Every structure is written in structure tokens, then in C-alpha cells.
Amino acid sequence: MTAPDGSAARVVAVVVAYARRDLLVEALDALAEQTRQVDAVLVVDNASPDDSAVVASTHRVQPTVLELARNTGGAGGFAVGIAHAVDAMGADLVWLMDDDTIPRPEALHELLAARDDYDGPVAILGSRVVWTDGREHPMNTPRRRPGASGHAMRSAASVAAMPVRSSSFVSMLVDARAVRYHGLPIADYFIWNDDFEYSARLLRTGTGLHVPRSVVEHRTKSFGASDADPGPRFYYEVRNKIWMLTRSSSLSASERVLYAGASARRWVRTAGRSEDRRALLRAGARGLRDGLFRSPRSNVTSLAGLGPVSGSVERLERSAR
């Protein structure tokens, strides 16, 4: 569990919170009970209307709490959190999760063990995600990296892992070196597909591992996949997926074609299941328009005016390739 210079790796857990103070307490409790303790915890409070920030600041895990002046969504929260963890808190590894992610006690230990035993650098490691009843959560189901070589498969299997092409912010351990090279998640995504775009960008040439021995609970209100009826939020699914397919460096040309087809099929299924198809299609049409005719702003622009952390965002983004 070492840093590049051979010293112990400094792990900073980043929890992005919005208006779920009871779940946030459970997430922080779980971080306090890790068998391999995190070195620091950072809570990014996205201008919650409840007392999430106050509750976090008094928790026994003693987190640093960033209270944002406005809600930047999950995408902005993770961009800010990663920037602060790497630039201001000296993180070698950043462990990302939402406030409804409850890691089991061995979760971090197993991620680090796989990283240390793997023969080569690893940009991202992800946990097995289950729902409250222990079933694999369909919203966060990993898939083996397409075209993974026999060597890659054997290397991953040697640490009881699987090579992947993307990962979820529901327990994603990211190497700070990859952050400095590739930059941050795109804050203007706000919600949805931000983790897909970011992890796929880091893993286009980097190595990502799914580590089933590391387990977290994703305490969503219901058990379902990402193509369940999203209502007006379908706007973000369509807009962001188009942005990713047309404006991101995360995918190769052939992958763009494959993911475009998969997305179209998923959208048809979503529309077929919707209880208010007219509203869903209106949201999708707006997403299509904005995805085609607008572009996401730079993080320096979209995350300006948030105090010192805006400086961390700018420094990381300007140093990225």
C-alpha cells in the first residue's frame, strides 16, 4: 500500500453530499470503521438545504468539510473534491463515493491489496456494489474490458480482479498521477455519465480493475438499473451522452459507434417503460438539442467563484495534458 516513492500511500476519501444527512452519517461511520484507515476524509457539501455540513463537521472521523456556495451536482462535487484532495491535501490516492455509499469494513484494504499486488500501475480500482439486500446493484454492474488480452486477464486474475474499461463513482479509487495527467471530471455534466466519461478517459490507455472482494452498499431508494424511468432527468442522460460521444477524448472511434448504438437502444427501452412518456420525450428532445448545439464549459469557468478550491481546480486543469 505504497506511494510512487515507496512510502505509505496517502488515501483521501472524498464524499459528495447533498441533502441526505442521515445517509451521510452512515457513510462517515463506515469510513471510520475501515480496517485500513483512510488518512483523511473530505466531505464536499453541495449547498445542502439541510444540516449535512454541520453534521459532517462534528463527526468522529473529523473530516475536512467544503461547503460550496451553490449546488454543482455530483460532477462538480467530485471535480472539486478531487482537486482539493490532490492539490491541497497531498493525496496519492483519492477514494470517491456519494453520500449513499456505505463501504464494508474491508473495502479499502481489499482495493489497496489488489493495487499493491498487481504487476504494473493501476489508474482506477472499483468495488463490487450491492444493494441493501446484498444483490449486485444493476446501476453499478461492471463489465470486462472489451478486447482485454490474455495477459491482462491473467494479471487481473492474479489479484482476484477483472480488467474494466470504465468504473463508477460509487467507490472508485483513483491514482493522483492519473488525475494530474488527465485532469478532472467535467463539472458541466452536473449529473449522470460524469463517472463514465471520466473513468473511460483515464482508462483509454490506463489500467482499471474491478475488485469483487472490496464491497460497498449503494443505498438507493429502489433496486433498479440506470434505464429505469428517470423523468425530467432524462435531459442529462441524453445531453451528456452526446457530449461524451462527440466532444470527449474518452472513447476511440469504434467505441463511439458501439456506445452510440447501445445508448439508442437504452433510450428506446427507457421510453417504453416511462409512466409519462410525453414528459420524458420532451426532456430527451431538450437534451438532444443542447448536446448537439452546446458544449460543456471548462471546469475553470464552471467552478469559478467557489473560494480557494477554485484555485486548486485551475492548477490541476492547467497542468493536465
Question: Per residue in 151-196, pLDDT tens?
Answer: 999 999 999 999 999 999 999 999 999 999 999 999 999 999 999 9
Q: Nearest 5 degrees, angle CA 89-CA 129-CA 164?
A: 80
Q: Tell me, what CATH number does 81's domain have?
A: 3.90.550.60
Res. 8 pLDDT band, cuts 50 70 90: confident
Question: Per residue in 245-288, pLDDT tens?
Answer: 999 999 999 999 999 999 999 999 999 989 899 999 999 999 99
Res. 225 pLDDT band, cuts 50 70 90: low
pLDDT over threshold 90, residue 243: yes
Res. 113 pLDDT band, cuts 50 70 90: very high
In a domain, 253, yes or no: no
pLDDT of residue 227: 63
Where are the strands (E) in 92-237, listed by range?
93-98, 101-103, 124-130, 162-163, 172-175, 208-218
In a domain, 233, yes or no: no
pLDDT of residue 101: 98
In a domain, 206, yes or no: yes
In a domain, 261, yes or no: no
pLDDT over threshold 60, residue 122: yes
Domain that holds residue 20: 11-225
In a domain, 33, yes or no: yes
Q: Nearest 5 degrees, angle CA 100-CA 103-CA 106?
A: 180
Average pLDDT for residues 193-216, to the nearest whole number? 97
User: Of 181, 170, 185, 178, nearest to 115 (Cα)?
Assistant: 178
Specify the amino acid at residue 277: R
Q: How far is CA 118 from CA 13, 80, 92, 121, 196, in A?
A: 22, 29, 17, 8, 23
Average pLDDT for residues 122-140, to the nearest whole number? 94
Count Cα neighbours of 208 within 13 Å in the Cβ-side half-sphere.
27
**Share of residues in the chain with pLDDT > 70 (%):** 97
In a domain, 254, yes or no: no
Are the C-beta atoms of residues 231 and 194 closer than 8 Å to each other? Answer: no
Average pLDDT for residues 56-80, to the nearest whole number? 97
Domain count, the chain: 1
**Share of residues in the chain with pLDDT > 90 (%):** 91
pLDDT of residue 4: 53
pTM over 0.85: yes
pLDDT of residue 165: 97
pLDDT over threshold 60, residue 203: yes
